[in-house]
Amino acid sequence: MEAVEELTGYPSILDGRVKTLHPKVFGGILARREADHLAQLTQYDIPAIDLVIVDLYPFEATVAQTSDESAIIEKIDIGGISLIRAAAKNYRDVAVVASREEYGSLLQLLQDKHGATDLDDRRELARRAFAVTSHYDTAIFQYFDGDRGDLAFKQSVPGVLPLRYGENPHQRGVYYGHFDSVFEKLGGKEISYNNLLDIDAAIALMAEFKHDEPTFAVLKHNNACGIATRATVLQAWQDALAGDPLSAFGGILICNHPVDESTAAAIDQIF
């Protein structure tokens, strides 16, 4: 392992703001593996770099933890973003991993292919890398933009859940966001777009009831089959089902409290 300072001949300067921004680093990443570029690498004693792994400064985490603007500004990564973009641009010859969430995938890839990557692998890594950099830049813009919103509409939502189908079975549907962090799916088929509409309608309906008491809602095709607020989750389920037990089949069942084992067992007996 060779430190960047040893490669560039310059120390990390300006309180760490400048470390990797140097031709000896970016030349090795951006050089195409063709005669002219390789000759220039040799001429200027620049080693070719085939793999770039980056873990960006935690900008979003810093914004969430402090309002100190000087601390937030220092977490705007410059060199890391530049390394990612350079490597992703030269994906034909360089592999890039832009976040620690991808480390496991890279390790598996290298193990499966005995330390090698092919062009399709590297292009996919580049695709993922640009997803990281675009999300990072969006977070920075939103911090500076605040509540103004007069320059552009920018959102970046990590997390993708492929849906069983879209509005119709032949259509594709995708949910963006971390579904599992909001809901606990107890059973049934994979979520479809129409299921999401039912879930949204169920939540809106349940909002009309007491939030601190167990409420169970049963919906199908955006129509309420039953809803009940009771002292226990099991009682709420039983009374919600009693509203229209026939139409409940194939519907969405939503509860605002954790479902205990006895209630889950009661549901399983019917569905």
Q: Which residues are catalytic?
A: 89, 221
Contact 175, 195 (CB under 8 A): no
Measured in whole angstroms, the distance separating CA 118 from the mean position of its chain's CA atoms is 25
Q: Which residue has the tokens 């990443």?
A: 29
- Give the whole-angstrom CA distance, residue 4 versus residue 20: 7
Contact 231, 214 (CB under 8 A): yes
- Give the whole-angstrom CA distance, residue 215 versus residue 243: 14
Identify residue 42 by its one-letter amino acid code.
T
The most distant pair of C-alpha atoms in the chain lies apart, rounded to whole Å, by 82
Rounded to the nearest 5 percent, the helix, strand and coil shares of the chain are 45, 10, 45
- Contacts for 229 with CB less than 8 Å, ≥ 6 apart: 209, 210, 213, 214, 215, 236
State the CB neighbour count (10 A cutoff) for residue 183.
Answer: 12
Number of helices followed by number of strands (H, E) in the chain: 11, 7
Containing 58, the helix (H) or strand (E) segment is none
- Give the whole-angstrom CA distance, residue 216 versus residue 16: 55
